[in-house]
Amino acid sequence: MSFALGMRIAVPSMLANRPGNLSSMHLLSTEEQTMQMSDFPFGVTDWSAIVPTEHPGESGMARWRTCQFGTIRVRMVEYSPGYLADHWCRKGHILLCLEGELLTELADGRRFMLTPGMSYQVSDEGEPHRSSTRSGARLFIVD
């Protein structure tokens, strides 16, 4: 899919009047600032060929398959059943749930359940968040 210069597309608004309102949208012109990806060539990633690293949670285990593209870290992450993060994260992410269910809790008490095909985004130093899963989850994360 391609977009003509000057076309307006809908993206989640960071200026929403109500915190946690996931349905609010903001029209963004394609001329407005977008993520800058530079200093790496075209490539194909076979995620199954990347050796996972293990990161224990408060309970359960996270297995990360990680690639670095310039300043952008991209991960395929698998959380074991019963996983609970061992910290409140303040790093920004764009996270897509591929399999399972992921419960993400914000420090202010809001909770969001992601199922396959759902995503969330949070900025660096944005709302502190932590994730857990009862049944396990597979995620694609860009940060």
Domains of the chain are 1-34 (no CATH), 47-142 (2.60.120.10)
Give mean pLDDT, residues 82-101. Answer: 96
Task: Tell me what pLDDT residue 32 has.
Answer: 63
List the single range of 16-20, 41-45, 98-102, 107-111 with lowest mean pLDDT. Answer: 16-20
List the single range of 7-11, 70-74, 85-89, 121-125 with lowest mean pLDDT. Answer: 7-11
- Residue 5: pLDDT band (50, 70, 90) is very low
Give mean pLDDT, residues 95-108. Answer: 97
Give the Cα separation of 28 and 141 in Å (integer): 23
Task: Tell me what pLDDT residue 28 has.
Answer: 55
Give the Cα separation of 26 and 45 in Å (integer): 32
What is the biggest distance separating any 2 CA atoms in the chain, rounded to whole angstroms?
48
Q: Are 79 and 95 in contact (CB under 8 A)?
A: no
Residue 26 pLDDT > 70: no
Give mean pLDDT, residues 3-15. Answer: 38
Task: Tell me what pLDDT residue 8 has.
Answer: 36
